[in-house]
Chains A and B, each alone.
Chain A
Amino acid sequence: MEHIVIIGNGISGVTAARHIRKNSDKKITIISSETKYFFSRTALMYVFMGHMKFEHTQPYENWFWKKNRIDLKEGFVTTIDTDAKSISCADGSSLSYDKLILATGSKPNKFGWPGQDLDGVLGMYHKQELEKLEELAPNNSVCKRAVIVGGGLIGIELAEMLLSRNIPVTFLVRESSFWNGVLPEQESQMINEHIREHHIDLRLSSNLKEIKSDEHGKVKSIVIQETGEEIPCDVVGLTAGVSPNIDFLKASNIKTGRGILVNEFLETNCKDVYAIGDCAEQHKAIGLRRPIEAVWYTGRMMGETVAQTICGNKTAYKPGHWFNSAKFLDIEYQTYGWVFSERNKRENESYFQWHHASEKLCITVSYDKNSRLFLGINTFGIRMRHEIFDRWLTEKVSVDFVMEHLADANFDPEFYRTYEKEIVLKFNEEHATNIKVKKKSWKRIFSTNY
């Protein structure tokens, strides 16, 4: 029986394993040094905040793995011999494989800041880091202030976590406005406001110069590059992005760049070795996507795809329309298609934007200013139907069509106030159009069923 070994038990590796099991009888082993059982990394924050226990982050009960004949091995892989098709672990054990899937995920970035390895400095990615944070910052008498370095999705989540323990947070963001390399200014500004509304000490255009140590090698303070200001703190969270977790491959024959280099079939340069998820780097970026996509959804999609190939149905990784979501403290964010920030806006890309007068609700619709082709939408505080936008992107509808049918796409809970009329009114004013919003139609919505 063919033996499939998967290194990494995150969403990518586990999705691959599940789909290989669905389609075959092969022997499957998942190796992880982080935890025995799969858990949802995106939910770690809720454990710290007391919304859940760790066990609640595990999507499958513990009996699931045995029942589905997926062997779980705890171990840290140190070497991979792609000629002998074997791997060995730090504890001296070894394993041979017929096919190997690398799904080792990411690790937090460190940019060589002075003091970055001091006691009290941590990233927020692995379960072990969560446990460390529990030690370092159980409450605001042990941790009187925390400084977070890096204004991205993990940074704002870490801030929310620390706030839940009433720990004062200083948030250093390199950009002039939160995440404005990705978000349009309107939205980025709204999030700035929301961060401050939560009493987070947000410092924009601020870089970390150094982390200072006390006499015991523990964090004492940080210094801001631009102003030289020194901020006393007990914990420093480094959340300036992540990069592929591939150091253990250095001695192997597997070719790497920033990540593990793969072709469109997710194959590495070594026969029968595949890489998926955060750790994989496409030789050639797909569409407007980045060569490395460290996103939950893409990890899952690569897992689904590689399982097909391994089970004999050779399939290229061809992701559909881009989508993503996040939550910034209390504000939900969804995006479908491509909306680039002003900084990265494409030449033909034009915005239509709407912002609620008092609530934290807004949308940005991107469209081609020449052809009026709908390119993508960002929504904040308003939920939208994935299926509808996916269909509209496939059918290449115009921005006018999107406006006319906006009610079909709304996914807010029942009884929520809707804003389609207000939004389209503004659109009409700005575009000298006379679009009337159509009433929501189940018939149209459900003609999208895949």
Chain B
Amino acid sequence: MDKNSSFALSNPHKVPLNNTQKFGFGLGIIGVIILTLATFNIHAEPKGIFTLVSIALIVVGAVIYARSTYLQHPAGIKNNHVYFKTISNRGVWGWALGIVLTLFYVLLYWFPSYLGLGVDGKENTGLVVMFDSLSMFFKGQAASQWFVYGTLYTLAILSLGIKFMYKYRHNRYQLIRTVVVILSQLFLAYFIPEILEGLNTERTYFAKDIKNMWPLNYYFFEPWHLDNMRNGGSLGMFYLVAGIFMFLVFTPIITYFAGKRWYCSWVCGCGGLAETAGDSFRHLSSKKLSAWRLERWLIHAVMVFIFVTTAAVLYGYFTGNGEIFGLSIYNTFSKPYGFLIGAMFSGVIGVGFYPVLGSRVWCRFGCPLAGYMGLIQRFKSKFRITTNGGQCISCGNCSTYCEQGIDVRAYAQKGENIVRASCVGCGICSAVCPRGVLKLENGPEKGRINPKEILLGNDVDLMDLLNKK
């Protein structure tokens, strides 16, 4: 039956789009084409207006498409054909999208001039120049490739977040969570930092996205960044103190009460993109035991790597030394981390490989902040996914749609709660469960982890005998 996983352009169970869907999809595509042509220096004039037009087309197109797709049926789970479509089943469109995204990230990190960034004082061209007037509006300077990236990133979360909300319109947890995801990106990660940047143009750059804390923001403690914050007046000092407070105090406390989900699937930018733009690929994560084994090694190795790197960097900063134990701090620690983890892992693999490895590769295997919160969640937290007695039928929807590759069913079919470091609390396992078995909740620590021999429903004496043994 695996013929469905074909490389054919047309899938065997094609459900044609209706005219409204085609119209919405078409509008979005026109928006994307305007920006794509710009990348090849074919600009629509006036550029500033057409950038806004293409943004509007993408948002409006997504809304029209989503309304028509999801409102034509009664509210409920909408996963029909997920494994038939070539885009969401590693078919030809999936791979094509993966290659395009990967290329985009390679250019963004290492060859921004190909995106049109003007180097050595030259004017911007290509894609970047399209965003000059928007950047001018916010901060009175020409756009950088990072401004373009931030704008497109926010656009993806907004438009596909709205689509997600139509898809899950029956589920209040998903609706509220997604509103918060969209607003966090829009304000905390985009408008506020850009506006603050514009109000402080005389000062050198430091990160103004308050939620993007160390160690996810790995350059927070780099000397240049520390200096920029220290020289950034009261705003700079605020971000310095807030950054440390967020990591040391705020995060552990909230994670204790609600699990790491408050961050990973509610406010984080990486998580926000995964939950919205990445929703169509969530099922592609590997559920194998071997993947879990790899995950535990990898995420904790990255975490140790950034801890060591930061320690070395801070040592260098306070002693004025460029070396530690005879090793160059920059060449041994900061530079490899920035290249391997900051750019390759979180950017190129993390997002570029969405259609191949699923939407949470970075969050699951790499993110040191997720690793840190995961340890809290696993060992000292009130959060769990409760399994509802003996109601599981082992269907596997929960495991299939877990973006973090947790074999949720393995727990549910044993009547055992799910307490896992990697769970980001997106709530989709609970949503897709056809029998009402799973509930994300924050409850007493006692009894949170509850392995069982025999499930609820059988002889009470037998359950007592075996489960208390």
Contacts and interface: CB of A to CB of B under 8 A. Distances in A.
B83 A415 contact: no
Nearest to B393: A42
Contacts of B441: 414
Interface stretch (A68-76, A88-96, A237-245, A328-336): A328-336
Given A49-B80, A53-B5, A56-B399, A325 B74 contact: no
A59 B393 CA distance: 10
B249 interface: no
Interface in A19-41: 22, 40
Given A383-B439, A414-B440, A305 B462 contact: yes
Interface stretch (B196-204, B213-221, B450-458): B450-458
Interface in B104-127: none
A315 interface: yes
B424 to A, nearest CB: 15
Contacts of B76: 329-330
A386 B443 contact: no
Contacts of B435: 325-327, 332, 334
Contact of A387 (B1, B389, B397, B461): B389
Residue from B13, B14, B413 whose CB has the most chain A CB atoms within 10 Å: B13
Given A323-B457, A446-B446, 19 more contacts: A49-B80, A49-B81, A51-B432, A54-B2, A59-B409, A61-B288, A138-B12, A165-B13, A297-B457, A301-B457, A301-B458, A320-B457, A320-B463, A329-B76, A385-B388, A386-B388, A386-B389, A414-B439, A416-B173
A42 B433 CA distance: 12
Count class of interface residues, chain A? 35 or more
B397 A43 contact: yes
A416 B172 contact: yes
Interface residues of B, number: 71
Given A51-B400, A52-B396, A319-B459, A450 B452 contact: yes
A390 interface: yes
Interface of A: 11, 22, 40, 42-43, 46-47, 49-54, 56-59, 61, 130-131, 134, 138-139, 164-166, 194, 197-198, 296-297, 300-301, 304-305, 308, 315-321, 323, 325-327, 329-330, 332, 334, 383-387, 390, 394, 411-417, 442, 445-446, 449-450
Contact of B436 (A51, A411, A442, A449): A411
A318 B462 contact: yes
B155 interface: no
A303 B433 CA distance: 24
B447 A449 contact: yes
A414 B452 CA distance: 25
Top 9 A-B pairs, shortest CB-CB distance: A386-B389, A330-B76, A383-B436, A43-B395, A318-B459, A327-B434, A50-B81, A40-B394, A51-B79
Given A318-B459, A334-B391, A61 B289 contact: yes
Given A164-B81, A197-B74, A417 B434 contact: no
Interface of B: 1-2, 4-5, 12-15, 73-77, 79-85, 170-173, 176, 288-289, 386, 388-391, 393-397, 399-400, 409-410, 413, 427, 430-432, 434-436, 439-441, 443-444, 446-447, 450, 452-464, 467
B97 to A, nearest CB: 19
A416 B460 CA distance: 32
A43 B441 CA distance: 26
Contacts of A305: 458-459, 462
Contact of A50 (B74, B79, B389, B432): B79
Contacts of B467: 450
A390 B172 contact: no
Nearest to A57: B396
B394 A51 contact: no
